């Protein structure tokens, strides 16, 4: 896992043709907006979270975020334990995100 600043995360993501954005916040948090093209898998779902993560393509590069950067860090650690080689945590989470957000509704 690698912690990236907001600038590093956005810059690396923009240049990555093998990128997947992963939002690990709750449904209520996601209702406030989500980074475009992100996949939402709530880390608080426990075993269901792990099952959904295991179904993802391990050859992709995952850019993971939550509200503040704590849960996404935990998610990156879980992903590493499951065999993912490239998981990048967004330091400061969506609270410090200055990029675009979209509503899911």
Cα 16 to Cα 33: distance, rounded to the nearest angstrom = 23
Q: Which residues are catalytic?
A: 66
Q: What is the full DSSP assignment across 6-28? A: HHHHHHHHHT-TTEEEEE-S-HH
């Amino acid at each position: 896992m690698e912690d990236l600043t907001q600038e590093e995360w956005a810059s690396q993501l923009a240049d990555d043709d093998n990128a997947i954005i992963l939002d690990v916040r709750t449904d209520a948090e996601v209702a406030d907006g989500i980074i475009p093209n992100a996949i939402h898998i709530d880390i608080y779902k426990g075993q269901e979270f792990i099952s959904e993560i295991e179904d993802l393509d391990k050859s992709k590069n995952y850019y993971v975020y939550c509200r503040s950067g704590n849960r996404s860090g935990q998610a990156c650690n879980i992903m590493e334990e499951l065999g993912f080689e490239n998981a990048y945590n967004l330091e400061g989470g969506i609270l410090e995100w200055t990029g675009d957000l979209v509503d899911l509704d």
